[in-house]
Structure 1
């Protein structure tokens, strides 16, 4: 089930109505748990078993981490959780990738190895809920958190449908305590939650799907060779599409949780106004950035063991972060480019530590950051290195004599929409959405809300899945 479907509208209305009834708190939590399983089972019912396995294994592992004595015993229970979770992730997400690379390696060694058909269906959202459940046992193992008080609260944390399939990646310490006391949204929270859901669906359905997806597809999925203008416009279209798609999902999820009386953390903070790549990752997919920092970068040494170790930890973190996004070497290159950018930025900051850029220099650095981010999006979007190099050559003006791919209307449309997105990010760079909306007159807010709803209804199509569902 996807947020941008009439099925979800009916589903959410039923969930909200049940949650508003004067029932016992445990009954309402059970309703949410059952609804979350139904939400996930709408894709592929058998994969609910994976959720159950992950939930039960981590629940018991965390309990044993508290009750057993001895370092080796605690480590064994922690490893059970990690191996179970990463094992399922490796099999379903990376099984075909590993098998194909093994076949290619055997071929280079002169061995004609033809593996049997190994058609694995990727469970929706497995990367997201795997990281969420692993954080539970790792935090208990590191004594940063106590286990959940009851199984119902923990099971609901794992499966809570707003964040289940594409984040934000929640920590147990952020959500489980909210299940302790009865929660129901007040009138203001309900209105704001519904407004956030409308904004998120507008970003997804209208901007990402109706306007930006097609130009990106024409450049990246077509057979033509893109020239300078087509390559840049196609890539800019994808930069806007992936932001509106993923931020749209996160905004809808946060709004849905708010309507039910729960709070979830921001996942985006106007990333296309970032100045530098450390700033970018403080603004883009914030919950993943924090997860990689706390459970990978810092355990690898972080910045505590000298510059060489810091750069190694930084690069390893971004390479694995790239692989987390997809079982393809293009994603690894995407992560490696971001690791290179971060390492270069760190070195430049040390070299020019006393320099304070003025407003114009700050804006110039922001545009440079955005341009370099777009170069990385080429590897994120392209399905092969051949296509990636073709688009990059076009962006560098090296595809001489290329025939136009995009019609003028698409060139103008993408340029206008992307300029509006980047401009809005710069206007909101040091602000929050809540504080900004609080200063807007109510009639103007109502008109904007109505226009977004109208555009959603007009543009509603086939209910395209969110891009990050494939991760």
Structure 2
């Protein structure tokens, strides 16, 4: 069920009414409703994959209980690895089986040996990468004794399957989200209104920005040999805002929807395209995944505590695995490695923590130095996104070669240039609004609260009108495939 669909527009009010008008007096009933609603929401794609969520829920719930009763270190490690193998086993089979098989066949063919192995038509369950990491964080935290395992199976099931963030995050930690299922929720008007603002802004990002950018990004990437350098650079720019509008828009809708039901999810995007270096970009982009890898992989590997060799090794491990998490294609691995190379100079010069605060904090305009740093970081990010979007490494290299051709500074020629100009204006509007709201947590939820009521209403109605005016071909959220 897509957030930007009629199905969800009907589903959400029904669940909201049942939750606050019929279940509000009973916490367990509220949690049970969330579980049922989440299973309906997920099963809307393919009900067969519900068994994976249920099985993962039962396994990690049982392992959590077992860890609480076991003090023997070897047995505790055994329970932990059982959870890791089950969760990563499902993820590896459904997401990477054909990738490894195809590369194995290719490798043997290189040495003149033909393997006769057939690929399976494996359908990737929506959101498996997200809820797998979420349940793993619970087991690891229980193993580390940072979290007391729950004995409330319904609450734990609701934590694993919570529908607003089930299929594309944010990847919530059990330490943040699970305790919220133990506490009786009361309807808070201001919290709900903030949630609606965030849903509205998320819908704008998705429907107006991402879906319209997708039209041009697909045209340029799918027909890259037909366009000059300036057109290909424009296509990469459109994809840069497509993926941001798509993913951060989903996160906004997820967080806003959660607030309607009395829950607080962690921020997943913090205006990443205003970053002054790559290190800051990765502190602001897909925060829930970046911090997950930091806490459960980078730090256990030694983090930055060792010598230069260990720092470089750990950096490449994290970025390459992060790339591979995104998809079973060499393009994602190269994308991860490229970002590691971007990050390396900052790490080696100990400047990876130089830009911590908000850019131009307390000021309307940024300094010339900040503008230069933001622009250079943004351009590096655009080039890296080419690998993320391309079908293959060769496709990405050809695309980049096309950008850096003699036609880079020519006027791009393509169909629907008028519509493309409209989309670029809308991107400019997005940048302005997010720049004005960059010092708040999510941007729009505090923007305009000091305006006159009539002006504030006109602003929100204007966004609604833009959504209806520029609604185009419905595009599935990009991160559903991850």
**TM-score, length basis structure 2:** 0.92
Q: Indicate the residue corresponding to 1:457 in structure 2.
A: 468
**C-alpha distance in 2, partners of 1:396/1:59?**
53
The answer on whether the counterparts of 1:62 and 1:137 sit within 8 Å (CA) in structure 2 is yes
**C-alpha distance in 1, partners of 2:351/2:206?**
40
Is the alpha carbon distance of 1:254 and 1:403 closer, same or farther for their aligned partners in structure 2, counting shifts above 3 Å? closer
3-state DSSP class of the match of 2:163?
Answer: coil
The answer on whether the counterparts of 1:81 and 1:134 sit within 8 Å (CA) in structure 2 is yes
The answer on whether the counterparts of 2:34 and 2:162 sit within 8 Å (CA) in structure 1 is yes
The answer on whether the counterparts of 1:224 and 1:405 sit within 8 Å (CA) in structure 2 is no
Which of 394, 408, 421 lines up with 2:417 in the alignment?
Answer: 408
More divergent stretch after superposition (85-94 vs 433-442): 433-442
Please, what is the CA RMSD of the aligned residues? 2.2
**C-alpha distance in 1, partners of 2:263/2:149?**
20
The answer on whether the counterparts of 1:233 and 1:415 sit within 8 Å (CA) in structure 2 is no
Is the alpha carbon distance of 1:403 and 1:449 closer, same or farther for their aligned partners in structure 2, counting shifts above 3 Å? closer
**C-alpha distance in 1, partners of 2:468/2:447?**
26
Q: Where does structure 1 lack aligned partners over 5 or more consecutive residues?
A: none
The answer on whether the counterparts of 2:213 and 2:242 sit within 8 Å (CA) in structure 1 is yes
Report whether the alignment pairs 1:5 with 2:14. Answer: no
**TM-score, length basis structure 1:** 0.94
Residues 246-281 of structure 1: CA distance to partner in whole angstroms, max 9, x if unpaired?
A: 111000011111011111111111110001111101
The answer on whether the counterparts of 2:231 and 2:412 sit within 8 Å (CA) in structure 1 is no
Shift of 1:457: 3.3
Which of 384, 391, 416 lines up with 1:376 in the alignment?
Answer: 384
Report whether the alignment pairs 1:308 with 2:312. Answer: no
Report whether the alignment pairs 1:284 with 2:285. Answer: yes
Shift of 1:222: 2.1
Report whether the alignment pairs 1:216 with 2:212. Answer: no
More divergent stretch after superposition (41-50 vs 186-195): 186-195
Q: Indicate the residue corresponding to 1:297 in structure 2.
A: 298
Q: Indicate the residue corresponding to 1:176 in structure 2.
A: 178
**C-alpha distance in 1, partners of 2:451/2:338?**
40
Which of 88, 106, 109 lines up with 2:90 in the alignment?
Answer: 88
The answer on whether the counterparts of 1:225 and 1:403 sit within 8 Å (CA) in structure 2 is no
Which of 378, 389, 404 lines up with 1:396 in the alignment?
Answer: 404
**C-alpha distance in 1, partners of 2:427/2:204?**
15
Report whether the alignment pairs 1:52 with 2:60. Answer: no
Q: Indicate the residue corresponding to 1:244 in structure 2.
A: 245
Query: What is the count of residue pairs matched by the alignment?
Result: 467
**C-alpha distance in 2, partners of 1:411/1:230?**
11
Q: Indicate the residue corresponding to 1:326 in structure 2.
A: 327
More divergent stretch after superposition (173-182 vs 97-106): 173-182
**C-alpha distance in 1, partners of 2:247/2:126?**
15
Is the alpha carbon distance of 1:440 and 1:290 closer, same or farther for their aligned partners in structure 2, counting shifts above 3 Å? farther
Residues 6-40 of structure 1: CA distance to partner in whole angstroms, max 9, x if unpaired?
A: 10011001000001124322112111110000000
3-state DSSP class of the match of 1:3?
Answer: coil
Shift of 1:427: 4.0
Q: Where does structure 2 lack aligned partners over 5 or more consecutive residues?
A: 360-365
Q: Indicate the residue corresponding to 1:20 in structure 2.
A: 20
Shift of 1:359: 2.3
**C-alpha distance in 2, partners of 1:331/1:318?**
10
Q: Indicate the residue corresponding to 1:273 in structure 2.
A: 274
The answer on whether the counterparts of 1:166 and 1:468 sit within 8 Å (CA) in structure 2 is yes
3-state DSSP class of the match of 1:153?
Answer: helix
Is the alpha carbon distance of 1:17 and 1:281 closer, same or farther for their aligned partners in structure 2, counting shifts above 3 Å? same
Is the alpha carbon distance of 1:186 and 1:426 closer, same or farther for their aligned partners in structure 2, counting shifts above 3 Å? closer
The answer on whether the counterparts of 2:64 and 2:142 sit within 8 Å (CA) in structure 1 is yes
Q: How does 1:132-281 map to 2 (within 5 A)?
A: 132-209=134-211, 211-222=212-223, 224-281=225-282
